């Protein structure tokens, strides 16, 4: 009997990207979203246009059709107003399933990717996940979504301009469990460790050792990883167990490159 070889860490991909995602059946939104307290509309959401809950629910319906099944994730996506995190010239595209530029060569991830990563992070476990570390705050949208799914969110951004933009975007929401940090995300944030979940919005050829070190036993890390010497990326899930680290490679994705340092 031969034992399976454990993956080496920092985790890397070879040249081929295996897609092992199974597409689940879309849930009935009448019970999973509109019936959830988390999806309750804010006082401003009964209007028309981009402030309308109807617009956001249309986006949520499309996410469900794409295979997002976790009611908590769908409710969070329906509650956070994405148009408040994009530039005014792009607000009409805010609820389309597309990434949009947010300045400094960075983008806001498309709703399908944000919801997919959030669902993977939760992993079907009941209730809220514990403390989460987000690598790459960007404009703050994903941090806002995570605030509804985690007990506490630490989000770190290496670009000062985006760190300040996220702070301005999130201030009106008054989210007491979100902590914005300016620093090198590749180093993680040891003071907040251990984390029940870590999610990254940028991909390199390896998952930094600091991230897996700061992940709690029983925790999960979700990050894009590029195949060595290639630009192609895939989502990687790393589960930290008492026996070690286990990794799963999922579908191909495209994120901005993971970089070190601050700017």
Express as a percent the part of the chain with pLDDT over 70.
79
- DSSP character at residue 230: S
Active site residues: 109
CATH code for the domain defined by 29-257: 3.40.50.150
Q: Which helix (H) or strand (E) holds 95?
A: none
User: Which residues have C-beta within 8 Å of that of residue 81, sequence separation ≥ 6?
Assistant: 42, 45, 50, 51, 56
Rounded average pLDDT over 239-248: 97
Q: What's the predicted TM-score (pTM) here?
A: 0.82
Q: Percentage helix, strand, coil, to 5, in the chain?
A: 35, 25, 40
Q: Using an 8 Å Cβ cutoff, are 240 and 250 in contact?
A: no
Q: What does DSSP assign to residue 157?
A: E
- What pLDDT digit, counting tens, does each position of 131-162 carry? 999 999 999 999 999 999 999 999 999 999 99
Q: What is the H or E stretch that residue 202 is in?
A: strand 202-203
Is residue 18 pLDDT above 80, yes or no? no
Distance CA 22, CA 256 (A): 25
Note the pLDDT of residue 49.
63
User: Is residue 228's pLDDT more than 90?
Assistant: no
**Distance in angstroms (rounded) separating the CA atoms of residues 239 and 248:** 9
The pLDDT score that the predictor gives to residue 75 is: 97
């Amino acid at each position: 009997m031969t034992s399976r070889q454990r993956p080496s860490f920092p985790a890397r991909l070879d040249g081929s990207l295996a897609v092992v995602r199974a597409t689940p059946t879309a849930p009935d939104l009448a019970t999973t979203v509109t019936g959830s307290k988390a999806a309750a509309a804010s006082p401003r959401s009964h209007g028309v246009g981009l402030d309308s809950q109807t617009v956001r629910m249309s986006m949520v319906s499309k996410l469900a059709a794409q295979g997002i099944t976790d009611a908590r994730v769908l409710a969070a996506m329906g509650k956070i107003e994405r148009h408040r995190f994009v530039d005014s010239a792009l607000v009409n595209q805010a609820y389309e399933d597309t990434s949009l530029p947010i300045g400094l060569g960075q983008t806001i991830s498309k709703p399908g990717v944000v919801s997919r990563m959030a669902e993977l992070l939760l992993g079907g476990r009941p209730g809220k996940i514990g403390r989460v570390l987000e690598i790459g705050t960007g404009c703050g949208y994903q941090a806002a979504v995570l605030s509804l799914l985690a007990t506490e969110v630490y989000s770190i951004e290496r670009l000062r301009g985006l760190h300040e933009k996220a702070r301005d975007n999130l201030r009106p929401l008054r989210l007491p469990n979100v902590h914005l940090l300016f620093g090198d995300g590749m180093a993680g944030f040891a003071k907040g460790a251990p984390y029940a979940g870590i999610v990254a919005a940028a991909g390199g050829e390896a998952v930094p050792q600091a991230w897996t070190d700061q992940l709690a036993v029983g925790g999960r890390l979700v990050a894009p990883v590029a195949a060595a010497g290639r630009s192609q990326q895939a989502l990687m899930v790393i589960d930290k167990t008492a026996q070690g680290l286990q990794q799963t490679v999922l579908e191909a994705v495209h994120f901005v490159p993971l970089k070190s340092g601050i700017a």
